[in-house]
Chain A
Amino acid sequence: MGGLDLKAYAGLFKTYTELRVQENRTIQISFVKGSNIANIRSGTSGVSARAYQNGSWGFASSPELTPDAIAAVVKEATENALFLDSRERKAEPPLPATVVSSENDFSTKKPRLGQKELLDFLRQVDDEIARRYPGLASRSVILRCLDMEKTLLTSDGSYSHSMIPRSQIHVVLSVEKDGTPVELMESYGGLGQFEDVFESPSSLWEGIERQYQHLMKKSEGVFAEAGVKTCVLDAELAGILAHEAIGHTCEADLVMGGSVAGDWIGKEVASPLVTLVDFANTALGQTCPVPVYVDDEGTRAEDVVIIEKGVLKSFLHNKESARRFGAEPKGNARAFLFSDEPLIRMRNTGILPGTSKLEDMIASVDDGYYLIKPSNGQADLTSEFMFGVTLGYEIKGGKLGRAIKDTTISGVAFDMLKTVSMVSNEMKWLSHGMCGKKQPIPVGMGGPAIKCQVTIGGR
């Protein structure tokens, strides 16, 4: 991508236009039971333009990065906007102008490792798991790296360049219990290129040992008792709750689609213990898992306080919805590939920590569950949510009991958040989130542990 001066193409803009050059680079290496089943690198790059005409948008993209291809993309996007405007005739006013200049590059300064070094690293991890835990029925070790590099120019004059990488190792351990497999996955890593995230295979041993101990307990696990229970949701579950059940209902496009949150600005929707923020790039003094400094509409990214002490405060906007709602855009318009148009997306969504200690929260539950790891999650315009839970324990008389088998929790988020009675003082981030909404996009989800009432599946 180096060497392209997008500003040289500004003269081609006939109407409000965003011109973006982007490259996504990925690495995937997988070992399953010692077999190297994937050994892949990919790169996807190209240029796109999006043009706006009286409320209608046109978009075009090309994988070619030649001057002719860039000019053709701007022309096609403009023509698409004009075509749609000629049919729709919305006569909408211009978009709010934003001007910002930004450079944020999280590339490693260390020498880059080659494929052989990465494979050797993974193989060492896999070999060590096989050596330490011979009773496992199966094991998988999967490396996934994604570098997203973007350069953006808008006709308002915004210009930004960013390189945001993330590197993750997913470890799946499986044992057989009474002839059936029991599995537990854990993800390690986060923001940064491999060299900055993983120092040595041995840096993973402690986490994998903890994962194995949980798996052993889970293999003896029992079905959760179905029904409404007092639960302590650990940070990862609180994070996915913040993202799925609250964040999505507060995206302006979903608000326009009928989200229940639409009528509740300024109203109490949660316990006063709950403050929920979509962080742009920095939370509590730390860089977030997916830092966004300028979005793909050229708007400076700022934090959005969605819920403050239980009261619904704000929605998430792009420029167009901000104009409709009379709000300020705060950098939530993001695209995944060069060929994708920006959509309203979360960045790093989390509940702010409180003052309770996790052990006190568990001790305060007479009969309930401590739920630790989510699998997937889905939510709804009604804020009814569902999350898979792959790791949890009974709480009996204030003490942790038996592990439980995989289960699901559900509820109506805005009802459930009113039942939050304790919030822990530790904030943790889930760094491997990928949100799906027409396009995938990396997101961060975080939070403290929360104590609440929730419906748990089971038998």
Chain B
Amino acid sequence: MNDPTRSAEYGVNALLKAGADRAQCHVTRIEKHELNVMSGEMSLLRTTFDTQVKLIAIKDGKKGSTTINKSDPDSVVKGAREALAIAEAAVPDEANDIAEGQPAARFVSGSESPDRDNMHYRMKELLETARERYPALLMLQAFLDFTREDTYVVNSNGVDFSAVKGVYHCTAVFSAKEDGKVSSFNGTSVAMRDLGVPIIECGSTGRLMRETTEQIHTRPVPGKFTGDVIIAPDCLGDMLAFLDDSIRDRALISGTSVYKDSLNQLIASPLLSLHARPVSGEICDGYFITSDGYSAQNSTIVDRGFLRTFLLSLYGSRKTGRTRAVNDGGAYVVDPGETPLDEMVKSVDRGVLLVRFSGGYPNENGDFSGVAKNSYFIENGQVKYPISETMISGNLAECYKNIRAVSRECVNYGYAVFPWVAVSGVTISGK
């Protein structure tokens, strides 16, 4: 069955025919063209096609789901029967449901097909520019892909959505080596609507390459102290992951979230505003349809420090009796502040400019510790030197409250937009 819309409709009908009370089917066709660089050389051109068919059945309050990657009628019917068998084995739960009917819609973003010649040109340009500007840089790996996803969601309540998205992604991982000394590796990813701009100018790519060549000779910070940490946009997402995890289904259903009673409460500094904007112009790698089958909308998660929404799925919302989120999270945008980055650095007596964090998962309480990688020691308002063997630790829930400045400057990665954020009261220990 070559028409994915028909596959999705066929899937719903197959589920209903197999005995489902309510049925939903998601079909996604994925086409990927990817140019790979290994050890500084263009090494592989990869073309892949795949189909994901997710079949969801609810019967007598019991839910079952199968995912297959075939869309021919026989496979879909077999998958539908399996979804029913799984549902019949399940535990009934009143919280199980599918998305209610919404007006049919078709969403489109980005290009329909790749420009393979331009992909090769931009990748070659990235390698040559990096070599010219930063001779000590070693490109471990780089991937430039064009991914087109055609998504269809149909259900027995009348949901009928389709979305087509074409986006380029580039991931580069690099280190620097000189006189037998090597830096830590660093890496970055960007998503792009088109290839109109050199990749080195996108996101943090050029800045991180330059910084990596500065990080061949490092030192630990002296001693142990409590200081400021300026979190670079490149690791702000890691630092916000604790909040993201804590306001989702698992943490709220299990009751282990530290934010379970914090809706509309002040959980962060008034300087922090965090949005999920999957359908905004500034995010080229967002999404139009939620994993539950709703039309995605933008939302504000933290408004000047106040928690304004949880990220509950349809199941999570019905299970906890709280409101369903209007999106799946991600596509995060943190509002810029009013402090220029250089002013932010000048205001630090003793601390760290944290560019990459290599840490253990924070515990449910937000306690964290880890190594500051590709980072710098700041003293008396000046960036002094790149560091190694330096650990930072603290509590992320406290860190959000201790944000004392947010930079004017932001980096747009295509999938997120982040500024630099200064946090006080973090334990920093070197040697």
Write the residues of chain A forming the contact surface with B, with a CB cutoff of 8 angstroms: 32-33, 35-37, 39-46, 48, 50, 55-64, 76-77, 80-81, 83-84, 87-88, 90, 114-116, 118-119, 123, 137-140, 174, 180-183, 226-228, 253-254, 256-260, 263, 339, 341, 375-376, 378, 380-382, 384, 386-390, 405-408, 410-412, 438, 455, 457-459
| Contact of B393 with A459 in the complex, beta carbons under 8 Å | yes
User: Total contacts A to B, CB within 8 angstroms?
Assistant: 253
How close is B212's CB to chain A, nearest CB, in angstroms? 10
Which residue of B68, B120, B176, B254 is within 8 Å of A258 (Cβ)?
B176
Check if B204 is an interface residue, CB within 8 A of chain A.
no
| Contact of A62 with B49 in the complex, beta carbons under 8 Å | yes
| Contact of A226 with B89 in the complex, beta carbons under 8 Å | no
Task: Give Cα A61 to B138, complex, Å.
Answer: 30
Task: Give Cα A254 to B369, complex, Å.
Answer: 26
A140-B358 in contact given A39-B63, A386-B371 (Cβ < 8 Å):
no
Question: Which residues of the other chain, B, contact A33 by a CB distance below 8 angstroms?
Answer: 253-255
Check if B349 is an interface residue, CB within 8 A of chain A.
no
Task: Give Cα A138 to B257, complex, Å.
Answer: 11
Interface segment, one of B12-20, B180-188, B332-340? B180-188
How close is B132's CB to chain A, nearest CB, in angstroms? 19
Interface hits, B61-78 → A, CB 8 Å: 63-70
Task: Give Cα A254 to B175, complex, Å.
Answer: 10
| Contact of B69 with A41 in the complex, beta carbons under 8 Å | no
* B28-57 Cβ-contact flags toward A at 8 Å (1 or 0): 000000001011011111111111000000
Which residue of A44, A405, A408 is within 8 Å of B69 (Cβ)?
A44
| Contact of A412 with B389 in the complex, beta carbons under 8 Å | yes
Interface segment, one of B3-11, B152-160, B360-368? B360-368
How close is B313's CB to chain A, nearest CB, in angstroms? 9
Which residue of A45, A87, A118, A386 is within 8 Å of B359 (Cβ)?
A386
Closest to A262 in B: B182
Task: Give Cα A339 to B48, complex, Å.
Answer: 6
Which residue of A32, A77, A381 is within 8 Å of B185 (Cβ)?
A381
Nearest 9 pairs between A and B by C-beta? A388-B360, A457-B369, A257-B140, A116-B89, A42-B67, A138-B254, A256-B39, A57-B44, A80-B45
| Contact of A56 with B370 in the complex, beta carbons under 8 Å | no
Closest to A45 in B: B69
Closest to A39 in B: B90
A32-B182 in contact given A56-B43, A388-B361 (Cβ < 8 Å):
no
| Contact of A183 with B256 in the complex, beta carbons under 8 Å | yes
Question: Which residues of the other chain, B, contact A182 by a CB distance below 8 angstroms?
Answer: 363-365
Task: Give Cα A22 to B51, complex, Å.
Answer: 15
| Contact of A63 with B70 in the complex, beta carbons under 8 Å | yes
Task: Give Cα A182 to B185, complex, Å.
Answer: 34
Interface hits, B125-184 → A, CB 8 Å: 138-141, 143, 173-177, 180, 182-184
| Contact of A410 with B256 in the complex, beta carbons under 8 Å | no
- Additional pairs, 20, CB under 8 Å, beyond known A380-B185, A459-B393: A40-B86, A41-B67, A41-B82, A41-B86, A42-B67, A45-B69, A58-B45, A84-B44, A116-B88, A139-B254, A174-B254, A257-B173, A257-B185, A380-B358, A382-B182, A382-B184, A390-B360, A455-B391, A457-B369, A457-B429
Closest to B68 in A: A43
Check if B344 is an interface residue, CB within 8 A of chain A.
no
| Contact of B253 with A35 in the complex, beta carbons under 8 Å | yes
Task: Give Cα A412 to B220, complex, Å.
Answer: 12
Task: Give Cα A90 to B8, complex, Å.
Answer: 46
Task: Give Cα A27 to B151, complex, Å.
Answer: 24
Check if B373 is an interface residue, CB within 8 A of chain A.
yes
Interface hits, B233-268 → A, CB 8 Å: 249-250, 253-256, 258
Question: Which residues of the other chain, B, contact A137 by a CB distance below 8 angstroms?
Answer: 254-256
Which residue of B47, B63, B360 is within 8 Å of A59 (Cβ)?
B47
| Contact of B46 with A59 in the complex, beta carbons under 8 Å | yes
Question: Which residues of the other chain, A, contact B361 by a CB distance below 8 angstroms?
Answer: 375-376, 388
Task: Give Cα A75 to B269, complex, Å.
Answer: 58
Closest to A138 in B: B254
| Contact of B391 with A63 in the complex, beta carbons under 8 Å | no
Which of B91, B173, B224 has the most chain A CB atoms closer than 10 A to its own CB? B91
Question: Which residues of the other chain, B, contact A80 by a CB distance below 8 angstroms?
Answer: 44-47
| Contact of A406 with B360 in the complex, beta carbons under 8 Å | yes
| Contact of B120 with A458 in the complex, beta carbons under 8 Å | no
Which of A48, A381, A412 has the most chain B CB atoms closer than 10 A to its own CB? A381
Question: Which residues of the other chain, B, contact A35 by a CB distance below 8 angstroms?
Answer: 91, 93, 95, 253, 319
Which of A37, A77, A123, A390 has the most chain B CB atoms closer than 10 A to its own CB? A37
Question: Which residues of the other chain, B, contact A114 by a CB distance below 8 angstroms?
Answer: 85, 89
Question: Which residues of the other chain, B, contact A56 by a CB distance below 8 angstroms?
Answer: 42-45
Check if B315 is an interface residue, CB within 8 A of chain A.
yes
Question: Which residues of the other chain, A, contact B95 by a CB distance below 8 angstroms?
Answer: 35
A227-B429 in contact given A41-B86, A180-B258, A388-B360 (Cβ < 8 Å):
yes
Question: Which residues of the other chain, B, contact A37 by a CB distance below 8 angstroms?
Answer: 249-250, 253, 315, 319
Question: Which residues of the other chain, B, contact A387 by a CB distance below 8 angstroms?
Answer: 360
* B198-239 Cβ-contact flags toward A at 8 Å (1 or 0): 000000000000000000000000001000000000000000
Question: Which residues of the other chain, A, contact B173 by a CB distance below 8 angstroms?
Answer: 257
A-B contact pairs, 19 of them (CB 8 A): A32-B250, A33-B253, A33-B254, A35-B95, A36-B90, A39-B64, A59-B44, A84-B45, A87-B120, A183-B363, A226-B391, A228-B431, A339-B50, A341-B44, A386-B371, A406-B360, A406-B363, A407-B369, A458-B369
Check if B388 is an interface residue, CB within 8 A of chain A.
yes
Check if B402 is an interface residue, CB within 8 A of chain A.
no
Question: Which residues of the other chain, A, contact B39 by a CB distance below 8 angstroms?
Answer: 253, 256-257
| Contact of A378 with B358 in the complex, beta carbons under 8 Å | yes
Closest to A23 in B: B69
Task: Give Cα A393 to B342, complex, Å.
Answer: 44
How close is A334's CB to chain B, nearest CB, in angstroms? 16
Which residue of B67, B185, B358 is within 8 Å of A386 (Cβ)?
B358
Closest to B33 in A: A80
Question: Which residues of the other chain, A, contact B85 by a CB distance below 8 angstroms?
Answer: 114-115
Which residue of B66, B256, B359 is within 8 Å of A42 (Cβ)?
B66
Closest to A122 in B: B91
Which residue of A57, A116, A438 is within 8 Å of B141 (Cβ)?
A438
Closest to B391 in A: A457
Interface hits, B296-347 → A, CB 8 Å: 315, 319
Task: Give Cα A35 to B182, complex, Å.
Answer: 50
Check if B427 is an interface residue, CB within 8 A of chain A.
yes
Task: Give Cα A256 to B388, complex, Å.
Answer: 22
Which residue of A39, A43, A458 is within 8 Å of B393 (Cβ)?
A458
A384-B388 in contact given A37-B249, A407-B360 (Cβ < 8 Å):
yes
| Contact of A46 with B249 in the complex, beta carbons under 8 Å | no
| Contact of B89 with A119 in the complex, beta carbons under 8 Å | yes
How close is B301's CB to chain A, nearest CB, in angstroms? 21
Closest to A379 in B: B358
Task: Give Cα A182 to B256, complex, Å.
Answer: 9
| Contact of A119 with B358 in the complex, beta carbons under 8 Å | no
How close is A249's CB to chain B, nearest CB, in angstroms? 10
A260-B44 in contact given A39-B86, A376-B360, A459-B393 (Cβ < 8 Å):
no
Task: Give Cα A339 to B31, complex, Å.
Answer: 11
Question: Which residues of the other chain, A, contact B254 by a CB distance below 8 angstroms?
Answer: 32-33, 137-140, 174
Task: Give Cα A216 to B363, complex, Å.
Answer: 16
Question: Which residues of the other chain, B, contact A63 by a CB distance below 8 angstroms?
Answer: 49-51, 69-70
Task: Give Cα A426 to B188, complex, Å.
Answer: 41
Which residue of B50, B364, B369 is within 8 Å of A174 (Cβ)?
B364
| Contact of B256 with A174 in the complex, beta carbons under 8 Å | yes
Task: Give Cα A193 to B116, complex, Å.
Answer: 43
| Contact of A253 with B393 in the complex, beta carbons under 8 Å | no
Task: Give Cα A448 to B361, complex, Å.
Answer: 24
Question: Which residues of the other chain, B, contact A228 by a CB distance below 8 angstroms?
Answer: 431
